[in-house]
Each structure stands twice: as C-alpha cells, then as structure tokens.
C-alpha cells in the first residue's frame, strides 16, 4: 500500500517541477513511509511513497516494462497476481521483480483498459506510456482505495489524497458548497465530487484516459448490476450457504498473500468474527487480532469481543476509546479524512490502526462491506417493514411491525405515534427510487438548517436528490426493492464514508493497510444472484452469512442482536479538558468561516450543555460543524508544508532530456 501522485501536461511538453513532486510525496508520507520513487519526463511526473508489503526487496516503484517505455505507480494489492503473472509469463512477458505492480503493467500492455476486468484487488494506479504519450489511471471497483485529481492550467494533478494536490495547486482551494450539501444529506459526497471546489475523486469502478492531442476522458468499467433473470430462484438455502462459504474462504485465502504478517480486526460482531474464525481455522493458527473497547458502556462490545478471543484463542490487543481521546484526536482524523463528517466513529479506528502499527503490523483484515453485501443494516430491515406497510397504508396493524426495529421507542405510546408518522413518509410510493432511504435522508436534510444564509445562497437551487438520481442505472426502478436499497447504500455510505472516512484514511494515517474479504468482487457479483428474501429472512439480517458461520462461531455471536458501530459525540466534545470547544465554535470562528449560522450554533451549544441526551440529529450537527471547522483550518487556511531539505526520492528516473 502506498501513496501515489503525479503531474501530467495535457497540451504541450513542459518542464515538470520535481520539487512539486517531492512536496506531493511528502504530503503523503504517512501512506508510504518505507521508500520513495519518481519518474519524470517532459510530459509527466509520477511519484510514489511505498509501504512495502509484497516483494520487499525488489518491488521499488516506479516500475517499468521490458524496454522501459511504460511506467507505473501503484497503490494497493492485486490479490490474484501470481495467477495472472503465470499466464503473462507463458505469453513471453519478462519480469524483473516479483511484485504485483509489475503484473498490472504487463497486463495493461496486452489488454489496455480491459486489464481491469482481470484484477481481483483493491487499487489505484497510474500508468504512462512514454512512446505513445498515453496516460491511464484507475481505481478499484467499489473504492477501497482513493484517487483524486484536479485539472488546472492544462495540467492534470492527481494523488491518493487531496492534500497532495492542494500542496502544489496554483488555485486557492475553497470548500465546495454543493459537496457540503451532499455530505449533510448522505454523510458523504456523491461519486466524483469532493468537499473541495474543483477537486474531483475518481469514482469507484472508473478509469481516466488521456493521449496526446485528445481530451481527458473518464469512463466506467464496472458497476453493481441487477437482473431479474440472473436471480437463482430455484437454488436452496443450503446450496447458497455452501457456495458462499467457499467464496469466503477463497477470498480470505487470497487476502492473506503478503510478505509481512497479516492480522485481523475483531470487534465481537458477526462479520469480523467470521473472518477471524476462517483465518484461524484454515490458515493461521498464530493469529494476531485487534479490537476497540469504549469508555461509554452503551457503545462498548467488549463482552462479545472477549468471548471471541477466548473462543478462537488469538493473541489479542485492545484500544480503549475514551471520550477524552475521541475529542482530542478529532482534528487529526479530519486532516486524514479530508471531509466533514457527522459522526465521531472514525476516531477509535484511527486509534486502533495506531495500535496495530505500534505492535509491528502493517496489514489487517476487516469485516467492512458485509452489511452492505449480505444485508445487515437496519435500513434494509426498515425498508422491508415499510414495504410491508405500503401494501395497506391505512392498516392499523402493519405499521406496528416497526416495533421490531425500535422496541424501546415503541413502548412509549406518544413517541410511537410520532415515530409512526415519521416512517410514513413516502409510504404510498413504494416504487420510488429512494423509497428505502427517503426517511433517513429527509431527516438528515434538517442539518442544512445550520448553514448560514450566505452559504445556502451559494448552494442555491441545487438538488442533491436529482443528482443522485442521474447517477442511477437506467433500469434501476425495475430492480428488486431490497437490492435497490443495497445499491444506494453501497454507492453513497459504503464507498464514500465507510471505506474512506472509517476505512483506508484512518488506517493509512498510521501506515496500516486494510483488506476487506467481503468486498471481493466475486462475492459482490454472486450476491446479486441471491433472492433478497434469503439475504434478510423475514427481518433476520444477514441470514445466509449467519448460516455460513453457524458452525464456526459461538451461538451467542451468531444470534446476538446487531449493534451499529458508533462513537459518542456530545460527550466527547463537551466537558473535555483535551478539547477546546469554545474556541473551536466561538462566534468569531463561526462568523469567519461563513458556513454556519452563528446564532443557531450558539443555541445548539447551549442545548448540548444543558442536556446529556441529545437527539441523533443534534449530535450529527455537532460533529458536522466541528469537523467542517477543522477542515477549513487544515486545508483552506492552509500553509505549505515545510519539506525537510534532506527529503529526496530513493529512486529517481529522469528522462527529461530524452522524452519530449
């Protein structure tokens, strides 16, 4: 895993400032502390900072083909590289390293963009063909690894993280009002947008192509799809269970390929427990595991975690997330995450990766993606309940099924009535593209009431729902309704938040690579053929996955109620001696930033000071406002990094005199 960056001249050859490449690389040094390397000619500069995991001795980047005309910088892992390499070697390709990076390069030589179809992995890479003057960059299917770009003054600037682009950009960076409008609705920007004006993210499953004399183009090579005819209605539950089990084992097997030891996150939930059990039983008896415990009991899962540690007998380390630490490190995680967040949950994951690194590990497996792919979230169950209700919107009984999801609230008659009307929104239109998410998104939209008048004016009439609709596949409205909900959750929450703000960015902040077995594309594609009534049986979430793990895990883990992973917000920022709330949210700061309404922010603070039990929305507002403040501090009031003079590329290939 690594950080990659580069500068490409789009019109004419011109000198590439190698100092700029150096600064970009330095900005990404947390992603790759082990080595640095660069290639430069008069069209392009490619740079890389490396975290060495495969081929420690000879995998230094950039890597070239046989005649040194094609060069690659690569962030990620191609898990099936030995198999691809073998077939390439049979066809005459010569390799000078044993790395996966070199395999991509030769596959690209043969197949151009079609090479992406063969790759099983998590990746972002950039390739330069110096003879043809062709540039190619791509990102993995669901966006496990990041890649950003900006087009400025006839140059393409690209990097694993936005900070490297900002570092050398000629344009003054500003927050993007539309990006923020999206984040305060969906928790994340929609594909290709970021929180920063003019800086784009290469969307998951997409590639960028450029050749001299042509414009840059961005194309999609993969997407989740659904087709009624592919759904295997005649298959039985045991058949599905067996096939999923085999796929899971193979996915884990591939993800243990590394030249350094691989550990595993273990939370005590079904997903990470299942992965850990597979590793322990089938592959590595000396497994090292890592988990989070919380100071606040209502967030803590240590009982389940300890049960699993005992059950599997792993060598386990814990990080104890205190409220004080969550407040204390919040600024850091915004620096690494690079977008406003309306949760505090990334912080403990940041602390966890720090622990992993301290214990000498660089790579860990995690359970991310299982909820999206196998149907684990409450939002899917809620969708099923609302669909059940929509059969007869006036039924006295049907809405009472909501009690199954929210038992405590529904025990209070008055609250039950309010909540019932809350969930009734859109109940008469079950075919709506956003039927599954409309209740939640409508609720989040209220966060935007905190925007200042000026900032709201900048957003203007922009409608984020229209934009999301324009991103959906043409036949989306004909899809199965649970699968539609999964799709929406995957392209918004999973790619934009879970794999990023809670995933790669929190791990790479401490130079740790995450590997996500549930997001092997073979599993994702397979699950598209499973009838949704089996994914969530009645309201029993992740039904098939529970069947897969039934014999591997203690009954308490398989049948336990699912708790979403969360971290306390209000209690982390208020009365915290390591977090200076009143200077962060002072009227002066809020006025200066111009994004939020100072009067409303003041009232919110007063409310939070009075009451420990704030609504979910108030908590989200607090995190959103504070994180936006830090984002501005880190990136808008940005001062250039001071790069130490001795910081230079370990490998430096200079072709500025040869290639024009």
CB nearer another protein, residue 410 or residue 497? 410
Bridging pattern class, strands 262-265 and 288-294: parallel
Among 578, 568, 586, CA closest to 625? 586
- CA–CA separation, 592 and 605 (whole Å): 18
CB nearer another protein, residue 103 or residue 557? 557
Among 175, 222, 184, CA closest to 492? 184
Q: What Cα–Cα distance (Å) separates residue 535 from each residue in 196, 377, 432, 439?
A: 38, 11, 22, 22
CB nearer another protein, residue 404 or residue 588? 404
Hey, what are 561's tokens? Answer: 């109620």
Residues that bind another protein (CB under 8 A): 384-385, 388, 391-392, 395-398, 400-401, 403-404, 407, 533, 537-540, 543, 555, 559
Q: What Cα–Cα distance (Å) separates residue 599 from each residue in 118, 450, 588?
A: 55, 9, 12
Helix (H, G, I), strand (E, B) or coil at 454: helix
Among 371, 369, 355, CA closest to 289? 355
- Please list the residues that pair with 290 across neighbouring strands: 265, 317
- CA–CA separation, 340 and 30 (whole Å): 21
- Please list the residues that pair with 537 across neighbouring strands: 540
Question: Least separation, in Å, of the C-beta of 538 and another protein?
Answer: 4
Question: Least separation, in Å, of the C-beta of 407 and another protein?
Answer: 8
Hey, what are 137's tokens? Answer: 């960059």
CB nearer another protein, residue 216 or residue 231? 231
* Beta-carbon contacts of residue 388 (< 8 Å; ≥ 6 apart): 398, 401
Bridging pattern class, strands 262-265 and 363-365: parallel
- Quick one: 425 exposed, middle or buried, by C-beta within 10 A (0-12, 13-18, 19+)? middle
Question: Least separation, in Å, of the C-beta of 306 and another protein?
Answer: 21
- Look-up of token digits 């019932």: 420
CB nearer another protein, residue 216 or residue 401? 401
Question: Least separation, in Å, of the C-beta of 397 and another protein?
Answer: 5
Instruction: Count Cβ neighbours within 10 Å for each residue of 66-101 and write b for 16 or more, e otherwise.
Output: eeeebbbbbbbbbbbbeebbeebeeeebebebbbbb
Question: Least separation, in Å, of the C-beta of 398 and another protein?
Answer: 7
CA angle 78, 83, 88 (to 5 degrees): 100
Question: Least separation, in Å, of the C-beta of 260 and another protein?
Answer: 40
Question: Least separation, in Å, of the C-beta of 442 and another protein?
Answer: 24
Among 101, 211, 203, CA closest to 156? 211
CB nearer another protein, residue 22 or residue 384? 384
Annotation marks residue 464 as catalytic: no
Which of 1, 2, 27, 485 is flagged as catalytic? 2
Q: Which residues belong to the active site?
A: 2
């Amino acid at each position: 895993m690594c950080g990659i960056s580069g500068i490409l001249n789009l019109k004419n050859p011109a000198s590439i400032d190698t100092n700029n490449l150096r600064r970009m690389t330095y900005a990404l040094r947390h992603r790759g502390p082990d080595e640095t390397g660069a290639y430069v000619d008069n069209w392009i500069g490619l740079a890389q900072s490396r975290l060495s995991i495969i081929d420690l001795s000879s995998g230094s980047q950039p890597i070239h083909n046989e005649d040194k005309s094609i060069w690659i910088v690569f962030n990620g892992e191609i898990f099936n590289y030995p198999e691809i390499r073998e077939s390439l070697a049979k066809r005459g390709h010569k390799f000078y390293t044993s790395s996966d990076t070199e395999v991509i390069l030769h596959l690209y030589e043969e197949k151009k963009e079609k090479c992406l179809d063969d790759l099983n992995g998590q990746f972002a890479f950039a390739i330069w063909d110096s003879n043809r003057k062709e540039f190619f960059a791509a990102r993995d299917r669901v966006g496990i690894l990041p890649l950003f770009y900006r087009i400025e003054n006839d140059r393409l600037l690209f990097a694993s993280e936005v900070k490297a682009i900002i570092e050398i950009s000629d344009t003054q960076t500003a927050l993007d009002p539309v990006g923020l409008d999206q984040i305060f609705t969906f928790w994340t920007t929609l594909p290709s947008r970021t929180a920063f004006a003019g800086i784009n993210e290469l969307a998951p499953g997409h590639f960028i192509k450029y050749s001299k004399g042509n414009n840059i183009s961005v194309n999609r090579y993969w997407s989740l799809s659904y087709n009624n005819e592919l759904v295997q209605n005649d298959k039985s539950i045991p058949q599905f269970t067996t096939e999923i089990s085999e796929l899971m084992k193979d996915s884990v097997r591939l993800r243990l390929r590394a030249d350094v030891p691989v550990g595993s996150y273990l939370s005590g939930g079904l997903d990470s427990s299942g992965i850990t059990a597979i590793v322990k039983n089938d592959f590595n008896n000396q497994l090292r595991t890592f988990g989070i415990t919380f100071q606040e009991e209502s967030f803590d899962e240590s009982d389940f975690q300890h049960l699993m540690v005992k059950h599997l007998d792993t060598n386990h380390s814990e990080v104890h997330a205190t409220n004080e630490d969550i407040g204390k490190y919040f600024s850091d995680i915004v620096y690494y995450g690079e977008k406003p967040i309306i949760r505090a949950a990334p912080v403990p994951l940041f602390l966890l990766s720090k622990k992993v690194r301290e214990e000498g590990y660089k790579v860990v497996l995690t359970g991310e993606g299982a909820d999206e792919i196998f149907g684990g979230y409450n939002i899917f169950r809620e969708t099923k309940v609302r669909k059940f209700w929509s059969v007869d919107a006036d039924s006295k009984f049907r809405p009472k099924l909501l009690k199954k999801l929210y038992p405590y609230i529904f025990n209070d008659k008055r609250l039950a009535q309010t909540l019932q009307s809350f969930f009734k929104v859109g109940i008469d239109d079950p075919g709506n593209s956003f039927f599954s998410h409309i209740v939640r998104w409508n609720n989040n939209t209220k966060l935007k009431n905190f925007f200042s008048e000026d900032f709201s004016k900048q957003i203007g009439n922009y409608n984020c729902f229209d934009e999301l609709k324009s991103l959906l596949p043409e036949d989306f409205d004909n899809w199965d309704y649970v699968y539609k909900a999964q799709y929406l959750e995957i392209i918004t929450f999973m790619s934009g938040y879970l794999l990023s703000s809670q995933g790669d960015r929190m791990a790479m902040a401490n130079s740790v690579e995450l590997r996500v077995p549930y997001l092997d594309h073979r599993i994702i594609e397979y699950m598209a053929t499973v009838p949704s009534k089996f994914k969530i049986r009645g309201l029993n979430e992740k039904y098939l996955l529970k069947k897969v793990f039934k014999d591997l895990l203690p009954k308490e883990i398989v049948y336990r109620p699912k708790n979403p992973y969360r971290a306390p917000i209000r209690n982390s920022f208020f009365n915290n001696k390591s977090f200076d709330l009143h200077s962060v949210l002072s009227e002066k700061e809020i006025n200066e930033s111009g994004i939020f309404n100072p009067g409303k922010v003041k009232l919110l603070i007063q409310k939070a000071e009075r009451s420990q039990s704030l609504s979910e929305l108030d908590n989200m507002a607090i995190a959103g406002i504070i994180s936006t403040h830090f984002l501005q501090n880190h990136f808008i009031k940005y001062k250039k990094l001071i790069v130490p003079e001795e910081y230079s590329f370990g490998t430096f290939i200079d072709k500025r005199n040869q290639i024009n």
